Chain A
Amino acid sequence: MTTQTKFPTLEERGFGDGGNGGEGSAGRSAGGNGTALSVGPTGIWIAMASITMFFAAFTSAMVVRAGLGADWTRVALPRILYLNTAMLLASSVTLELSGRSLRAAREGPFFGWLMATAALGVAFLAGQLDAWRELAARGVYLATNPACSFFYLLTAAHGAHLAGGLLALFYLVARHRRIARGASGQTILKVTTLYWHFMDILWLYLFLMLALWV
């Protein structure tokens, strides 16, 4: 039972044009699953696995802490969280529309939807800050009770990760002309899109957790 192992040719893997070498070499889009093309998406999938573990640790801490005793006092979640959630969901849609416009070679809508995504991202973070301000106005702070500790902790941790995605969006906005010409940045757009959707799903999960436990 001799099995022939198939592997892509050097050209397909990006060897032919030096794509395995320095960063930013031209013509790396040639070929199917070239190496230079795939490290970005592979890397972001792996990073998402790690971020998942990070939040899984917080989740298990929350479940354990909630079960420990009588000091777990539930907090009424600020209403603005629903608006924030809607904006974040919308931002995933606009980013997807942006990518589709790019693939259809329509530069205007590509840039427009990209800007909309970044704006919705900023609005989401501002909304999260407003939720904090509302809680603080009610006299609910980080250390007031364990439930609100987890509220602040999880929203802050998610916000910090989302801010990273936002930086990537700003970078794409700044380079949108070069991306539209197909010169570079395709991989960054792909990676950012994956990460942004992941932030979206992560928030839905956290929001559900907060709604159920906090």
Chain B
Amino acid sequence: MAACPATGRRMGGGRAARVPQSVRSSDMAKASSESVAPQVAQGFWRKYVFSTDHQIIGKQYYFLALFAALVAMFLSWLMRVHLAWPRLAIPGLNALSASGAPAGLMTPEYYLSLLTVHGTLMIFFVLTTAPQAGFGNCLLPAQLGAERMAFPRLNMLSFWLTFTSLGVLLASFFVRGGPAISGWTAYPPLSALGSITGPGEGLGQSLWIISIALFCVASLLGALNFITTTLDLRAPGMTLMRMPLTAWAWFVTAILMLLSFAVLLAACVLLMLDRVAGTSFFVPSGLIVSGQMIHGHAGGSPLLWEHLFWFFGHPEVYIAILPAMGVTSHLLSCFARKPVFGYRAMVWATIAIGFLGFLVWGHHMFVSGMNPYSAFAFAVLTVIIAVPSAVKTFNWLGTLWGGRLRLTTAMLFALGFVSIFVSGGLSGIFLAEPPVDVQLHATYFVVAHFHLVMGMAAMFGIFSGTYFWFPKMFGRMMNETLGKIHFILTFVGAYCVFMPMYFLGMAGNVRRYAQFVDPYLQPLMPLQRFITVAALGLGAAQFLFIFNLFWSLFGGKKAGENPWQATTLEWATPGAARAVYRGPYEYAVAGQEQDFVMQNAPDAGPSRARKEAADDNADQISNA
């Protein structure tokens, strides 16, 4: 592979496609002004609340995710403080739940409620919502050169279903018994039998299932919209292999959502029937719960839920991380002022990760009594994912190599993503091995793994995208000084919180316990307290971000049209011709006045022959 800065002539997989003569920019401008104009004259409710405008919907999703993230972070603080100082009463907690936290001291069950809601909020309402539905709605049509999403009304419905879903989940804080205690995976029989299995397993668990079912429907409709938009509404010349890697990530993620959320929806229907209609899909015979024999259910299998759930659950982690990978690829190229190293390899790695994601769900069930041969198959498939992941990582490094780095806040977070993704991802290879997993399963090693590789990495992608696209979304710049302080605190904080958990896990510290009272865990308590202090600091640092975000909305420096000198269409002049002549990452192109060429910049006549010759050259190199 030759990413040669001297000639700089590596098309991002683009071919020498020509826009036919019939493309006349005056037509385009006319068409776009006609279609945009009627949307201006609308009332407040239609424009900002029940809006069919994808940009507004994207922002609605973004702020919904921000709110969910704040609630989830607050819950994690409560849990961390309780873990470090189990006898410390938290003032005011009894006001949230008198039975769950009498006198401010949380019960073990209430800890599990907080854990469940924290996980559910983060995975569904933050990591699935912000990078995909939030940024995707704001930017996918713009990047493809489409005027809008394919189905605007369906888009509005998706958002309001998501909103309702969040409301239903949070409502469970205010019902008898509080929120569900079965974790974000809701394993039966705990989740299938009602309040006999614990506080929160009555109405709280039912609300959880309803909330997730609504979220499934919203996500399916959203995915439908994303896929159709990508397939049908691309501007002339925007071939698939000219799409920015962000668009590729949103596209593949949408396919994962379309196929996996349908399965989760089916599983939720079955679980709900077990709870309310007396069926026995997941409830086995002869259960004794809380000293009572369970009657009326027989013959079901909790493993059936686990298979259905993880068939969704593993693609879900790629749903969370693929958009962040797309953002990282997009930004590293822009801020290294170099084409993406190995664009085609990046596209195929994205597709490969998405495809393999459907074949590895069994690695979440190594300790479920699975046949060792099945476990072996799942293990092999799982470690194969390391290949496309490594392709991506090396291509990121290749993109950086020899680049003229511009260390903006957005770039710092993209670099942070690469670091955190590697620190979190490598431990996945340990967990993919059944014999090792049997030891590490249900310990803090797993907590460290998924918080780094899915949680923090995806958060870094969200931050990176926010600092990068804020000028596009809101017309102003975010404060870079505050941003850089935010980055340093978040980067250091993330490592301080989650790296020690690897050591806790290797020392056998179990997860999901509300208190660590066993003698063998006592020597680990100082490390637990360190993690809690770091978590409080990491959380506090996020208020810098919140302040920066809202202050910049009104007081930020006015942004120019293309503040980062980027090449992709979201930075094109509004109303300009949306025809595409080249690949997405043409930075440092030889023979150009500027060091970047936008995708909609037509070729100058005489240089075309040279360009095609260079393309041939690039093709030969990439085919070699």
- Residues in A with CB closer than 8 Å to B277 are 142-143
Chain A binder among B122-130, B263-271, B436-444, B587-595 = B263-271
Closest CB-CB distance, B185 to chain A, in whole Å? 16
Contact of B151 among A3, A4, A22, A43 (CB under 8 A): A43
Closest partner residue, chain B, to A4 (CB atom): B17
A167 at the interface (CB under 8 A from B): no
Q: Please report the C-alpha to C-alpha distance between residue A11 and residue B300 in the assembled complex, in whole angstroms.
A: 58
Q: Are A20 and B236 in contact (CB under 8 A)?
A: no
Closest CB-CB distance, B25 to chain A, in whole Å? 10
Q: Please report the C-alpha to C-alpha distance between residue A157 and residue B35 in the assembled complex, in whole angstroms.
A: 39
- Residues in A with CB closer than 8 Å to B15 are 2-5
- Residues in A with CB closer than 8 Å to B391 are none
- Residues in A with CB closer than 8 Å to B615 are 2
- Residues in B with CB closer than 8 Å to A18 are 30-31, 34-35
CB-CB under 8 A for A64 and B279, given A15-B31, A43-B150 = no
Q: Are B23 and A61 in contact (CB under 8 A)?
A: no
Closest partner residue, chain B, to A51 (CB atom): B262
Q: Please report the C-alpha to C-alpha distance between residue A57 and residue B259 in the assembled complex, in whole angstroms.
A: 10
Closest CB-CB distance, B276 to chain A, in whole Å? 10
- Residues in A with CB closer than 8 Å to B308 are 57, 60-61
A176 at the interface (CB under 8 A from B): no
Q: Are A68 and B301 in contact (CB under 8 A)?
A: yes
Q: Would you list which residues of chain A between 1 and 56 have a CB under 8 Å from chain B?
A: 1-11, 13, 15-18, 20-23, 25, 35, 38-39, 42-43, 46-47, 49-51, 53-56
Closest CB-CB distance, B167 to chain A, in whole Å? 24
Contact digits for B211-246, partner A, Cβ 8 Å, 1 yes 0 no: 000000000100111011001110011010000000
Closest CB-CB distance, A68 to chain B, in whole Å? 6
Closest CB-CB distance, A47 to chain B, in whole Å? 6
A186 at the interface (CB under 8 A from B): no
Q: Would you list which residues of chain B between 303 and 334 have a CB under 8 Å from chain A?
A: 304, 307-308, 311
Q: Are A7 and B228 in contact (CB under 8 A)?
A: no
Closest partner residue, chain B, to A9 (CB atom): B22
Contact of A54 among B22, B266, B278, B311 (CB under 8 A): B266
Q: Are B22 and A53 in contact (CB under 8 A)?
A: no
Q: Are B259 and A9 in contact (CB under 8 A)?
A: no
- Residues in A with CB closer than 8 Å to B34 are 18, 21-22
Closest CB-CB distance, A150 to chain B, in whole Å? 9
Contact of A16 among B20, B27, B152, B266 (CB under 8 A): B27
Closest CB-CB distance, B584 to chain A, in whole Å? 15
Closest CB-CB distance, B344 to chain A, in whole Å? 14
Q: Are B28 and A10 in contact (CB under 8 A)?
A: yes
CB-CB under 8 A for A5 and B259, given A10-B23, A43-B150 = no
- Residues in A with CB closer than 8 Å to B280 are 71, 143, 146, 149
Q: Please report the C-alpha to C-alpha distance between residue A146 and residue B301 in the assembled complex, in whole angstroms.
A: 12
A58 at the interface (CB under 8 A from B): yes
A153 at the interface (CB under 8 A from B): yes
How many A-B residue pairs have C-beta atoms within 8 angstroms? Tell me. 169
Closest partner residue, chain A, to B242 (CB atom): A5
Contact of B17 among A7, A10, A23 (CB under 8 A): A7
Q: Please report the C-alpha to C-alpha distance between residue A57 and residue B307 in the assembled complex, in whole angstroms.
A: 10
Q: Are B263 and A57 in contact (CB under 8 A)?
A: yes
- Residues in B with CB closer than 8 Å to A1 are 616, 619-620
A65 at the interface (CB under 8 A from B): yes
Q: Please report the C-alpha to C-alpha distance between residue A51 and residue B266 in the assembled complex, in whole angstroms.
A: 10
Contact digits for B14-48, partner A, Cβ 8 Å, 1 yes 0 no: 01111010111001101110111011000000000
Q: Are A43 and B228 in contact (CB under 8 A)?
A: yes
Closest CB-CB distance, B568 to chain A, in whole Å? 18
B68 at the interface (CB under 8 A from A): no
Q: Are B300 and A153 in contact (CB under 8 A)?
A: no
Q: Please report the C-alpha to C-alpha distance between residue A68 and residue B281 in the assembled complex, in whole angstroms.
A: 10
Q: Please report the C-alpha to C-alpha distance between residue A22 and residue B147 in the assembled complex, in whole angstroms.
A: 9
B480 at the interface (CB under 8 A from A): no
CB-CB under 8 A for A61 and B224, given A9-B23, A39-B233, A49-B259 = no
Identify whether the interface residues of B are mostly helix, strand, loop, or mixed: helix
Q: Please report the C-alpha to C-alpha distance between residue A207 and residue B20 in the assembled complex, in whole angstroms.
A: 52
A69 at the interface (CB under 8 A from B): yes
Q: Please report the C-alpha to C-alpha distance between residue A18 and residue B32 in the assembled complex, in whole angstroms.
A: 7
Q: Are B612 and A9 in contact (CB under 8 A)?
A: no
Q: Are B273 and A153 in contact (CB under 8 A)?
A: yes
Q: Please report the C-alpha to C-alpha distance between residue A43 and residue B152 in the assembled complex, in whole angstroms.
A: 13
- Residues in B with CB closer than 8 Å to A4 are 15-18
Interface residues on B, range: 35 or more
CB-CB under 8 A for A50 and B281, given A7-B236, A7-B237 = no
Q: Are B281 and A146 in contact (CB under 8 A)?
A: yes
- Residues in A with CB closer than 8 Å to B36 are 21
Q: Are B20 and A9 in contact (CB under 8 A)?
A: yes
Q: Are A57 and B278 in contact (CB under 8 A)?
A: no
Closest CB-CB distance, A187 to chain B, in whole Å? 12
Q: Please report the C-alpha to C-alpha distance between residue A193 and residue B18 in the assembled complex, in whole angstroms.
A: 37
Closest partner residue, chain A, to B18 (CB atom): A4
Q: Please report the C-alpha to C-alpha distance between residue A7 and residue B36 in the assembled complex, in whole angstroms.
A: 25
- Residues in B with CB closer than 8 Å to A2 are 15-16, 612, 615-616, 619
CB-CB under 8 A for A50 and B616, given A65-B300, A142-B278 = no
Closest partner residue, chain A, to B227 (CB atom): A46
B258 at the interface (CB under 8 A from A): yes
B92 at the interface (CB under 8 A from A): no
Contact of B270 among A39, A50, A61 (CB under 8 A): A61
Q: Please report the C-alpha to C-alpha distance between residue A4 and residue B285 in the assembled complex, in whole angstroms.
A: 65
Q: Please report the C-alpha to C-alpha distance between residue A4 and residue B239 in the assembled complex, in whole angstroms.
A: 11
Q: Please report the C-alpha to C-alpha distance between residue A50 and residue B254 in the assembled complex, in whole angstroms.
A: 11
Closest CB-CB distance, A5 to chain B, in whole Å? 4
Closest partner residue, chain A, to B254 (CB atom): A46
B418 at the interface (CB under 8 A from A): no
Q: Are A46 and B228 in contact (CB under 8 A)?
A: yes
- Residues in A with CB closer than 8 Å to B225 are 43
Contact digits for A83-123, partner B, Cβ 8 Å, 1 yes 0 no: 00000000000000000000000000000000000000000
| Residue of B36, B263, B612 ringed by the most chain A CB atoms within 10 A | B263
| Residue of B151, B266, B280, B301 ringed by the most chain A CB atoms within 10 A | B266
| Residue of B38, B147, B228, B307 ringed by the most chain A CB atoms within 10 A | B228
B298 at the interface (CB under 8 A from A): yes
List 5 A-B residue pairs with CB atoms under 8 Å apart, sorted by A's residue number.
A8-B236, A9-B22, A16-B31, A18-B34, A53-B262
Closest 3 CB pairs of A and B: A21-B35, A57-B266, A5-B17
The interface of chain B, by Cβ under 8 A from chain A, is 15-18, 20, 22-24, 27-28, 30-32, 34-36, 38-39, 146-148, 150-152, 220, 223-225, 227-228, 231-233, 236-237, 239, 258-263, 265-267, 269-270, 273, 277-281, 285, 296, 298-301, 304, 307-308, 311, 579, 612, 615-616, 619-620
- Given A54-B266, A71-B298, 16 other A-B contacts at CB below 8 A? A4-B16, A4-B18, A5-B237, A16-B27, A17-B31, A18-B35, A20-B148, A21-B147, A22-B38, A43-B225, A49-B258, A50-B261, A64-B301, A71-B299, A149-B279, A153-B270
